[in-house]
Amino acid sequence: MKMLINSPETVVADALRGLAAAHPELDVDVDRGVVVRRDARDGGHVGLVSGGGSGHEPLHAGFVGYGMLSAACPGEVFTSPVPDQMLRAAKAVEAGQGVLFVVKNYTGDVLNFQMAAELAEDDGVRVEQVLVNDDVAVTDSLYTAGRRGTGATLFVEKIAGAAAEEGAPLEQVAAIARRVKACSRSFGVALSACSTPAKGGPTFDLPDGEMELGVGIHGEPGRERRAMMPARGIAEVAVGAVLEELVEVAPADGPVLALVNGMGATPLLELYGFHAEVVRLLEARGVPVARALVGNYVTSLDMAGCSVTLCRADAELLRLWDAPVQTAALRWGR
């Protein structure tokens, strides 16, 4: 496989150096693997820290900035960051109001963030955690006990980040984050496998003419494989799976935030066409789309495919979603 890298061993460090050069508003510690807002402690707000394996960019470092994350901890490709990174990030952003850890439900992330939270508490930093587990495709996978954390992570980080920016206390920011998580569901589809720099080729076998329904963001197996279908058929499977789970989330007739997320190698031409099918299906089922986001936000290296995330959103969540944000990958209203 041809890759625009120097070597597999330096790919994450090289990317962090590039992030630092492109975004001087960020303090990027390449050697220790921590990305922090330079103004993270200004205003005495709750700090938001997230992180996970690299390869899912712009998640998480691309969401560090005003109105979103205070810091992010990138691990090696598809590998959890270590507790020292998370502890260092928490201390860097703590401004007297505590820190919220946003954790995707992958075993390494869960264990390491928990250890970091305990270490931070020992050092006098109050920590709350929210565990994002929005993927409806499978209950357990190669990486998780329970459901995987995927696209809803973006919703949690944006909405909780807005609440923190407004000066909400830690308990309230954590409660809002948990509410967003509880109101969100996702489903992913792979049209091709991803290729890690270390392997230099596809991480799993997906024959020509087939797709993986319910794939995970590391290429974990989904619900089933089928012959390739037109976008409308794929959308019917994904939207149907998500709505089946959202039935339990009130209000049943309320609007949704909709994310059509590219897995890394699918062009916007296809993603916008797929979004049109998603909206058509939601409208047919009487589900209004209050806000929509289309693009590559929670990726899986060079995987072709997409995921659909829907979040039942009341007036408060929509207000916080609309609040100004300025990060490397998401920005509006400022």
Determine what percent of the chain is predicted with pLDDT higher than 70. 100
Domain boundary among the residues 145, 168, 183 is at 183
* Type of residue found at 82: V
CATH (domain of 252): 3.30.1180.20
287 and 310 both lie in a single domain: yes
- Whether residue 66 is contained in a domain is answered as yes
For residue 239, is pLDDT > 90? yes
For residue 182, is pLDDT > 80? yes
For residue 293, is pLDDT > 90? yes
Q: For residue 64, what are its two tokens?
A: 């560090």
Among the listed residues 123, 70, 60, 122, the one whose alpha carbon sits nearest the alpha carbon of residue 92: 70
160 and 190 both lie in a single domain: no
213 and 170 both lie in a single domain: no
DSSP secondary structure, 119-157, as one string: HHHHTT--EEEEEE--B-S-SS-SS-SSPPP-THHHHHH
Look up the domain containing 196 and give its range: 184-332
CATH (domain of 124): 3.40.50.10440
Domain boundary among the residues 183, 217, 232 is at 183
Question: What does pLDDT average to over the chain?
Answer: 96
What pLDDT does 324 receive?
98
* Type of residue found at 38: R
Domain boundary among the residues 162, 183, 204 is at 183
pTM of the entire structure?
0.97
pLDDT, tens digit, 9 for 90 and up, residues 252-280: 778 999 999 999 999 999 999 999 999 99
- Whether residue 140 is contained in a domain is answered as yes
129 and 152 both lie in a single domain: yes
Catalytic residues: 56, 218
Q: How many domains does the chain have?
A: 2
CA distances from 236 to 44, 88, 239, 244, 260 (A): 46, 44, 5, 12, 13
- Whether residue 4 is contained in a domain is answered as no
